[in-house]
Structure 1
Amino acid sequence: MEEDKKVYFVELERYLSPLTAEETNDVIDFYSEYVEDAGLQTKTELENKLGTAKQLSRKILADHSIKIDEDQRHHNIKRSPRSNSKMIWIIILAIISAPMTLGIGGILLILLMSMILTAIIIVVAMLLTLVILTAVCLYTGLLMLFTEFTVGIFYLGCGIAALGGLMIAMPLLYWVCSAILQVVANFARYLYQRFSRKRQGRSEA
């Protein structure tokens, strides 16, 4: 019995590697006390109440990421696109691992992932279009410069203009991507909190 609990918490600690040692110890202490109070002894009892160690770790990491996000929002600290991406991924893993991810939850999860994929495709397509346009115009302009000077100058001008557009578009696209990631992160946080409330209601029932 005690061995089951020991193995469970060793696995949980391993999955919580993204947290600091202090945060991990706090989590382990909290759930150890919870397990003792609930009288959970066997692996089956632990997993029926808390889920597997991996499922519980994903829930903990998602809760932790959302807490950091809320703290930063409270102090008007803007999250970076990388932080938002990390939070989205952690939440997706937490939702996937939850037994309740069925029906409308599955549809919402697919929608969330589709939003991210669509944003990536749009950004990549726009950048590739500008890069190709710039390269073609500059290359054509250089070739035509020695045969049709006027036409060559025209294409070079188009290429330089496209290059300027690319320089303008890159920070603009970065801003758009950041905004999209923020929207998706907000949606992911809402979705996870909704699932958490539903899961808590079921466990209390």
Structure 2
Amino acid sequence: MNQEIEAYINELSANLQGLPEDERQETEEFYREYLLDGKLYSRSSIEQKLGTSQQLARKILADYSLNLDEPPTHPINHQRSQSDLRAVWWIILGILSMPVGIPILSALLGIIVATISVIFALIIGFWGLIFALAGIGLTIVVKAIPLLWTQWQVGLFYTGCGLVALALVALIVPMLIHLIRIVIDASFQLIRRLGHKVFKNQYYQTANKEKHQQ
């Protein structure tokens, strides 16, 4: 077995630790056979064809992430959030490993930052409104309770107003949390779509794909 090929495959394997064990082994075997069939025995010829082992690993991981099942529509849980974040990170690294990666990500970053800034400002405004509403509601209730024993009609009215304010807070908070989750999920989907666009004509072999661009 050619030493340069084995060294390259070993480096590739070290950079593919995020893949499941069986898929990583199949991927290593594919590229080992690919290099042997192509008679790419020197490091320079290998890297000219496939790039460095780190670059190839990033492309494989990105391609693997893009070919995973689409995220389900049920509520986001901790495990799914971690999985989505890891997939997005792999896609970003895969795009960066390509010549067009940095300009594309720079443009995307500008759009995302501008969008997130607006959304973040709105969310901060909503949270400010919620805290203010909760504070007002609690204050009204606390001050109205003593009136129930002196001027019960007035006390009852203000107590009701305070409870209405607190009820609005209880309704708005879940809606705001749901909105934040939607924004996060939409950001993940945007990056996945970008990955599909960038890798549309690039086929980096993983265990669940059988095509490779020669």
User: TM-score over 0.5 for the alignment?
Assistant: yes
Q: Which residue of 1 aligns with 2:59?
A: 59
> Do the aligned residues in 1 keep the contact of 2:137 with 2:161 (CA within 8 Å)?
no
Q: What percentage of residue pairs aligned between the two structures are identical? A: 22
Bigger Cα Rg: 2
Partner of 2:42: 42
2-structure distance, mates of 1:135, 1:17: 48
Work out the number of aligned pairs and report it.
192
Task: Name which of structure 1's ranges 116-125 and 186-195 shifts more when overlaid on structure 2.
Answer: 116-125
Whether contact under 8 Å (2:4, 2:43) holds in the other structure is: yes
> What is the match of residue 4 of structure 2?
4
TM-score for the superposition, normalised by structure 1: 0.71
Tell whether the 8 Å contact from 2:55 to 2:94 is kept in structure 1 after alignment: yes
- Segments of structure 1 that go 5 or more residues without pairing to the other structure are 198-202
Residues 91 and 192, structure 2, Cα contact 8 Å, conserved in 1 = no
The whole-number CA distance in structure 2 between the counterparts of 1:116 and 1:22 is 40
Which runs of structure 2 are paired with 1:1-205 in the superposition (5 Å)? 2-69=2-69, 78=73, 82=81, 83-103=83-103, 105-111=104-110, 113-114=112-113, 117-118=116-117, 121=120, 124-125=123-124, 128-129=127-128, 131-145=130-144, 146=146, 149=155, 150-151=157-158, 153-171=160-178, 173-174=180-181, 176-177=182-183, 180-181=186-187, 183-194=189-200, 196=202
| SS state at 1:190 partner | helix
CA RMSD of aligned residues (A): 3.6
Q: What is the rounded CA distance, in whole Å, between the counterparts of 2:116 and 2:51 in structure 1?
A: 30
Distance change in 2, residues 1:106/1:134 (3 Å): same
Residue 110 of structure 1: CA displacement?
A: 2.3
Q: Which amino acid aligns with 1:187?
A: R
Change (3 A) 1:113 1:161: closer
CA distance in 1, matches of 2:127, 2:87: 28
Runs of 4+, deviation exceeding 6 Å: none
- Superposed displacement of residue 126, structure 1: 6.2
The 3 A distance-change label for structure 1 pair 120 and 169 is closer
Q: Name structure 2 gaps, 5 residues minimum.
A: 148-153, 204-212
Give the aligned residue type for 1:170: I
> Higher RCO, 1 or 2 (CA under 8 Å, sep at least 6)?
2
Q: Distance in 1 between matches of 2:118 and 2:21?
A: 36
What TM-score do you get using the length of structure 2 for normalisation?
Answer: 0.69
Contact 1:40 1:46 in 2 (8 A): yes
Task: Indicate if the aligned counterparts of 1:138 and 1:160 stay in contact, CA closer than 8 A.
Answer: no
Whichever residue aligns with residue 173 of structure 2, its letter is L
- 1:11-52 CA-partner distances (Å, limit 9, x unpaired): 211211121221111111111111112222222222221111
Would you tell me which structure has more helix in proportion to its own residues? 1
